Amino acid sequence: MESLALGAFTLFPSSSIRPSPFSRVPCRGYSFASLQKCNNQVLHYQSKKWNTRNNDSKFLDGFLLFQGKFFQKNYSTNAVSNYSEGSGSSMQTSLNAFYRFTRPHTVIGTALSIISVSLLAVEKFSDISPLFVTGLMQALVSSFFMNVYIVGLNQLFDIEIDKINKPDLPLASGEYSVKTGVIIVSTSVFLSFAIGVAVGSWPLFWALFISFVLGTAYSTNLPFLRWKRSPIAAALCILVVRAVIVQLAFFMHIQKFIYGRPIMFTRPLIFATAFMSFFSVVIALFKDIPDIVGDRTFGIRSFTTRLGQEKVFWICIYLLQIAYGIAGVAGVNSVYNWSKCVTVLGHAFLASVLWKHAKSLDLTSQSAFKSFYMFIWKLFYAEYLLIPLLR
Domain range summary for the chain, segments of one domain joined by +: 22-49+61-72, 104-264, 266-391
Question: Residue 275 in contact with residue 239, Cβ under 8 Å?
Answer: no
pLDDT digit string, tens, across residues 255-309:
999 999 999 889 999 999 999 999 999 999 999 999 998 888 888 888 999 999 9
Confidence of residue 9 (pLDDT cuts 50, 70, 90): very low
Q: Of the ranges 163-167, 204-208, 348-352, which one carries the lowest mean pLDDT score?
A: 163-167
Quote the strand ranges of the chain, DSSP E.
Answer: none
Among the listed residues 346, 327, 341, the one whose alpha carbon sits nearest the alpha carbon of residue 272: 327
Are the beta carbons of 110 and 246 closer than 8 angstroms?
yes
39, pLDDT greater than 80: no
Rounded to an integer, the average pLDDT of 138-150 is 98
HSE-CB at 114 with a 13 A cutoff on CA atoms is: 27
- The pLDDT, as a whole number, for residue 355 is 97
Q: What is the mean pLDDT of residues 9-21?
A: 42
pLDDT score of 297: 87
Alpha carbons 285 and 302: distance in angstroms, whole number: 8
Over residues 42-53, the mean pLDDT reads 44
Q: Cα–Cα distance between 150 and 315 in angstroms, integer?
A: 27
- Whether the model clears a pTM of 0.85, i.e. scores above it, the answer is no
CATH architecture for the domain at 104-264: Orthogonal Bundle (1.10)
% of the chain surpassing 70 pLDDT: 77
Range in 59-73, 132-146, 174-188 with the lowest mean pLDDT: 59-73
Residues 6+ apart with CB under 8 A from 307: none
Position 329 pLDDT exceeds 90: yes
Residue 176 is predicted with a pLDDT of 96
For residues 14-26, give the mean pLDDT.
Answer: 43
